[in-house]
Amino acid sequence: MAKRDYPYPEDEFDSLGADRVPQGVHRAPASRWRTFLPFILVLILAPALAYLGVSYLSNQGSPTSTTTAAPTTQESVAPEETAAPEETAAPEESESPEPEPTPELNVIRDAQIFVLNGAGVAGLAGGAAEKLTADGFTDVTPDDYGSRLPTVSTVYYNNADLADTAQQVGAVLGITQLVELADATDSIAVVLRGDYEP
C-alpha cells in the first residue's frame, strides 16, 4: 500500500519506521565462492595433512623396524640348521622293507580248457586257443557257445585246485572275471563275449 493511500494520520511509530532499513531476509546473498571455500579447503588440506602425518610416523618407526628385523633373520637361520638332521633321517625312512615276493601260481599246464565263442565273431575262440597254447597249455579246445549267460567274458573253473590255473588263463586272455562253479565245467571253460579284445 502506497503512503499516499494510507487513510490514517502519521504518528510517532510511523516516523520511527521511516528511519529503518531492511534487515534479515533482505540482506544480499553470499557469493558462491564464499559458500564452497570451506569444503575446498578441507579437500585440499586433509590429504596433505594425512600424507605429512604418515611420512612423519614412518620416519619415526624406521629405527625400530630395523632393530626387529635382525632377530627374524637369525630365527630364519635356526630352522635351516635343525632341518639338516631331518633330511638325513629321510633316507632311513625310505629304506622300508622290500615287499614280499608274490608266490608263484600253481598252474596246471595240462588242464583241460574249453574256449567258447559266445560273441558270434568267426575265429574268435580259435585265436584265443592259440594264445593259450603259445603260453604252454597243452589241452585247449575251441568251440561255439549259444547261451545268453554270462553277458561278459568269464573264466569258469571247477574247484579251488584250478584257481591258479584259471587266473593264468584270464591273465593270458585279458579276462578279469573268474568264477568258481562246479556245474559249469569239469575243468576250465572260457566264455568269450563282445567285450573280449583278441
Q: What is the pLDDT of residues 139-162, one digit of tens each?
A: 999 999 988 889 999 999 999 999
Helix-then-strand count for the chain, H and E: 4, 5
Q: Which CATH number fits domain 112-192: 3.40.250.10, 3.30.460.10, 3.30.70.2390, 3.40.1350.10?
A: 3.30.70.2390
Is the pLDDT at 123 greater than 70? The verdict is yes
- The C-alpha cell of 56 is what? 612423519
How far is residue 150's CA from residue 132's CA, in Å, rounded to a whole number? 21
**Using CB atoms within 10 A of its CB, is residue 131 exposed (0-12), middle (13-18) or buried (19+)?**
middle
| Cis preceding-peptide flag for 198 (omega within 30 of 0) | no
How far is residue 58's CA from residue 65's CA, in Å, rounded to a whole number? 10
How far is residue 135's CA from residue 142's CA, in Å, rounded to a whole number? 16
Residue 195's CB is within 10 A of a number of other CB atoms, namely: 12
3-class DSSP state for residue 39?
helix
Q: What integer pLDDT is reported at residue 9 of this predicted model?
A: 76
Q: What integer pLDDT is reported at residue 190 of this predicted model?
A: 95
Global pTM exceeds 0.85: no
Query: Which residues face 156 on adjacent strands?
Result: 179, 189
Instruction: Kindly report, residue by residue over 60-118, the tens digit of the pLDDT.
Output: 754 444 444 444 444 444 445 545 555 555 555 556 666 666 567 789 999 999 999 99
- Which residue do the cell numbers 534479515 mark? 24
**Domains of the chain: which residue ranges?**
30-76, 112-192
Confidence of residue 175 (pLDDT cuts 50, 70, 90): very high
